[in-house]
Amino acid sequence: MDCIFCKIAAGEIPSDRVYEDEFVLAFRDIHPQAPVHALVVPKKHMKNLLECDDGTAVAVLNAVKAVAKSEGVSESGFRAVTNCGPDGAQSVEHLHFHVLGGRQLSGRMG
């Protein structure tokens, strides 16, 4: 499958990893939109949140929390967001949560 995040999870494309466990990988976004901008992805391919099973949902959200802590934004605050489908501006069709922080984020959500 020609999926960039599957290739990153497999180590075929390099990434700046910030978290990894059995089910989940997190790495820095190549075009960061905040001082902290990580992507949390399940190692198993799924297109977006609509395909996410219960176990993966728990693993991904726990990884979001771990990344927020290890990146030093759990106290200052952060945003975790997943874009879904065309109107959601999803550009990579492999489920991922953006973890953004390290500055005051806009109150606008879109």
Catalytic residues: 96
Specify the DSSP element, H or E, that contains 81.
Answer: strand 78-81
Burial class (CB in 10 A: 0-12, 13-18, 19+), 91: exposed
CB proximity list for 62: less than 8 A, separation 6 or greater: 24
At its nearest, how many Å lie between ligand 5GP and the CB of residue 30? 4
Structure tokens at 19: 């978290």
29 scored as a contact of ligand 5GP (CB under 6 A): yes
At its nearest, how many Å lie between Zn ion and the CB of residue 6? 3
| Residue 109 binds which entry of Zn ion, ligand 5GP, none, CB below 5-8 Å type-dependent | none
27 scored as a contact of ligand 5GP (CB under 6 A): yes
The neighbour count for residue 8, using CB atoms within 10 Å, is 20
52 scored as a contact of Zn ion (CB under 5 A): no
Give residues 64-83 in contact with ligand 5GP (rule: CB under 6 A): 83
Query: Would you tell me which residues interact with ligand 5GP (CB under 6 A)?
Result: 4, 13, 15, 27-31, 39, 83, 89-92
